[in-house]
């Protein structure tokens, strides 16, 4: 019986183990949430430049905060242009349209418009479509086909007097200024790449992921002595993207695995749907390859004669266990046949012997002469039945007693050995060997061709759907 101290220690260890397991589950969920947060930041960083104009409208504070990390700063050409527009609006409100200061600002804007069209400051930031939209809008508003002449016409005091300042101001605020604000200048590194200091944020997560992976793999290696730290780390290969400073979008893989493992989100169905088509055709391809390779290797074995002569030495063949496994299998089959099968088929054996003896007696010359004697007419029925029963019982008993008797066992082993040797010699003769090898090779080739033909007729997606149904049934049974 267990001592009181052992029982108390088990009671203490059990709650402690449960607490550790619960803490480990919560820690895994927290790490998974950290990966999700990091991945959201990664995708935000990847999409920031294309969506920067959207953030400018709805989140201008975010743009002001994040632009320095991407090396983005206002472009001098468009910034000066916007500054002159703002000054012009202030001058118009205080001095009027005909004031010399206003005329000077309009002339300055006409000059800057020419520089804008000639230099195309949008080219460096890759906003060719924005620049084209800007030219299209000024052309449509002034109804002039040339963008340069359209700007020259627009920044004229006489033109503003014709259309009115409110109309011009509305066009400037709604059509020109938003497109001018989209343009920016982005700093580059000596290597020619754009400045991107997202690593300053990402390195915090990378350090956390590295420490968490190191500790977890060390715990796994400590719990299982057969698993070294390197093996445990290799089995977590899918978490390596968490440590890479490039291709950060690959962190989707460890996030999906972690979500499924911690039960935060069931992504198995999503992964199954995403990989449905590739998995179906890949499985079909692999099954064909495996079947053809198996049959080809079997054909090679048949043609070499190793299948018909298992005792033939082969240096490339690896034997496992007792070399006399075939003899043991044969001995076991003989034992089953003698002790189990023969008593079961004894009635059929009696009928066969009775029929054979009756035919032999009725067809013999001796019986034809004996029928002439009185009392021999009923001999075949009684005699044959008795002899048949005796022979059947004797056959079963002889085989059973011979197999269990030491001397009989020796005789049976000798008979079995001689039978196998005789059969092996006959199979290894040139004529029989070539014929059997050819027949087996043709049979395997026929199997291979017909399998490939049938597999071409079957849709692998149907098979994969059947596999999915079986998996669902298995999961439902396990949940019960």
pLDDT digits (tens, 9 = 90+) for 38-61: 999 999 999 999 999 899 889 999
Q: State both tokens at 292.
A: 């053809």
Residue 123 DSSP symbol: T
C-alpha distances out from residue 135 to 108, 121, 129, 166, 451, Å: 19, 13, 10, 21, 66
215 shares a domain with 85: no
Is residue 225 within 8 Å of 110, Cβ to Cβ? no
C-alpha distances out from residue 74 to 68, 173, 468, Å: 11, 18, 56
388 shares a domain with 363: yes
CB count within 10 Å of CB 208 equals 15
Burial of 200 (0-12, 13-18, 19+ CB in 10 A): exposed
What's the half-sphere exposure (Cβ side, CA atoms, 13 Å) at 458? 20
Q: Is the pTM of this model over 0.75?
A: no
What is the distance between the alpha carbons of residues 338 and 323, in angstroms, rounded to a whole number? 25
Q: What does the pLDDT look like over 277-322, one tens digit per residue? A: 777 777 777 777 777 777 776 777 666 655 555 555 555 555 555 5
342 shares a domain with 439: yes
Residue 310 DSSP symbol: T
Q: How confident is the model at residue 362 (pLDDT cuts 50, 70, 90)?
A: low
203 shares a domain with 108: no
253 shares a domain with 134: no
What is the Cα 459 distance to its own chain's centre? 20
Sign of torsion over alpha carbons 150, 152, 153, 155? positive
Dihedrals φ, ψ of 73, to 5°?
-145, 160
Residue at 106 is within a domain: yes
Is residue 288 within 8 Å of 455, Cβ to Cβ? yes
Between CA 364 and CA 371, with CA 368 as vertex, the angle to 5 degrees is 135
Q: What does the pLDDT look like over 1-18, one tens digit per residue? A: 444 444 444 444 445 556
Which among 3-12, 78-87, 183-192, 444-453 has the top mean pLDDT?
A: 78-87
435 shares a domain with 339: yes
83 shares a domain with 33: no
Q: State both tokens at 453.
A: 């033909």
Residue at 381 is within a domain: yes
Residue at 415 is within a domain: yes
CB-based contacts of 110: which residues, under 8 Å, 6+ apart? 151, 152, 155, 156
Q: Which residue did the predictor score with more confidence, 163 or 347?
A: 163
Domain boundary pick from 274, 292, 316: 274
Residues of the domain holding 237? 4-46+198-274
174 shares a domain with 237: no
Residue at 68 is within a domain: no
Tokens 């949430």 label which residue?
A: 33
446 shares a domain with 343: yes
Is residue 342 within 8 Å of 400, Cβ to Cβ? yes
363 shares a domain with 270: no
Residue at 479 is within a domain: no
Q: In this predicted structure, which of 22-31, 65-74, 167-176 has the lowest mean pLDDT?
A: 22-31
Q: How many domains does the chain have?
A: 3
Domain boundary pick from 207, 240, 274: 274
460 shares a domain with 330: yes
Residue 228 DSSP symbol: -
Is residue 309 within 8 Å of 428, Cβ to Cβ? yes
Residue at 335 is within a domain: yes
Q: In this predicted structure, which of 93-97, 142-146, 181-185, 323-327 has the lowest mean pLDDT?
A: 323-327
Residue at 296 is within a domain: no
Give the pLDDT confidence score for residue 420 in this predicted structure.
59
CB count within 10 Å of CB 122 equals 24
What is the distance between the alpha carbons of residues 131 and 136, in angstroms, rounded to a whole number? 9
Domain boundary pick from 183, 207, 228: 183
* Percent of the chain surpassing pLDDT 70: 59
Residue at 317 is within a domain: no
Q: What is the mean pLDDT of residues 437-444?
A: 71
361 shares a domain with 228: no
* Bridge partner residues of 186 (DSSP): 72
Q: How confident is the model at residue 155 (pLDDT cuts 50, 70, 90)?
A: very high
């Amino acid at each position: 019986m267990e001592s009181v101290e052992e029982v108390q220690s088990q009671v203490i260890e059990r709650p402690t183990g449960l607490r550790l397991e619960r803490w480990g589950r919560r820690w895994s969920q927290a790490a998974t949430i950290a990966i999700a947060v990091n991945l959201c930041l990664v995708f935000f960083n990847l999409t920031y430049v294309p969506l920067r104009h959207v953030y400018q409208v709805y989140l201008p504070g975010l743009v002001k905060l994040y632009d320095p990390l991407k090396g983005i700063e206002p472009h001098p050409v468009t910034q000066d242009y916007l500054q002159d527009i703002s000054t012009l609006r202030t001058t118009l409100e205080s001095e009027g349209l005909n004031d010399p200061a206003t005329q000077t600002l309009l002339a300055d804007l006409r000059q800057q418009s020419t520089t804008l069209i000639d230099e195309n400051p949008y080219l460096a930031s890759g906003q060719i479509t924005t620049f084209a939209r800007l030219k299209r809008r000024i052309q449509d508003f002034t109804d002039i086909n040339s963008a340069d002449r359209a700007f020259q016409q627009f920044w004229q005091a006489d033109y503003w007097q014709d259309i009115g300042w409110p109309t011009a101001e509305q066009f400037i605020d709604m059509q020109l200024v938003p497109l001018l604000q989209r343009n920016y200048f982005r700093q580059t590194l000596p290597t020619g790449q754009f400045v991107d200091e997202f690593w300053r944020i990402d390195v915090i997560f990378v350090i956390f992921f590295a420490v968490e992976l190191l500790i977890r793999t060390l715990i796994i290696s400590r719990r299982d002595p057969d698993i070294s730290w390197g093996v445990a780390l290799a089995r977590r290969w899918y978490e390596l993207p968490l440590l890479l400073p490039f291709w950060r979008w690959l962190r989707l893989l460890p996030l999906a695995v972690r979500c499924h493992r911690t039960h935060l989100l069931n992504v198995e169905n999503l992964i199954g749907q995403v990989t449905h088509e590739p998995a179906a055709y890949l499985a079909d391809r692999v099954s064909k390859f495996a079947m053809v390779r198996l049959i080809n290797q079997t054909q090679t074995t048949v043609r070499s004669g190793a299948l018909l002569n298992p005792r033939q030495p082969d240096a490339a063949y690896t034997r496992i266990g007792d070399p006399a496994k075939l003899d043991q299998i044969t001995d076991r089959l003989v034992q089953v046949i003698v002790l189990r099968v023969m008593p079961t088929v004894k009635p059929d054996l009696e009928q066969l012997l009775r029929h054979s003896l009756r035919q032999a007696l009725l067809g013999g010359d001796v019986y034809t002469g004996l029928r002439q004697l009185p009392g021999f007419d009923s001999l075949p029925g009684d005699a044959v039945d008795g002899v048949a029963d005796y022979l059947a019982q004797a056959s079963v008993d002889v085989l059973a007693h011979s197999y269990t008797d030491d001397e009989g066992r020796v005789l049976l082993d000798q008979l079995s050995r001689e039978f196998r040797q005789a059969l092996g010699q006959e199979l290894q003769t040139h004529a029989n060997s070539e014929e059997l090898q050819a027949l087996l090779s043709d049979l395997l080739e026929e199997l291979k061709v017909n399998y490939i033909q049938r597999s071409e007729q079957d849709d692998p997606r149907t098979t994969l759907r059947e596999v999915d149904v079986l998996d669902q049934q298995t999961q439902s049974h396990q949940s019960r």
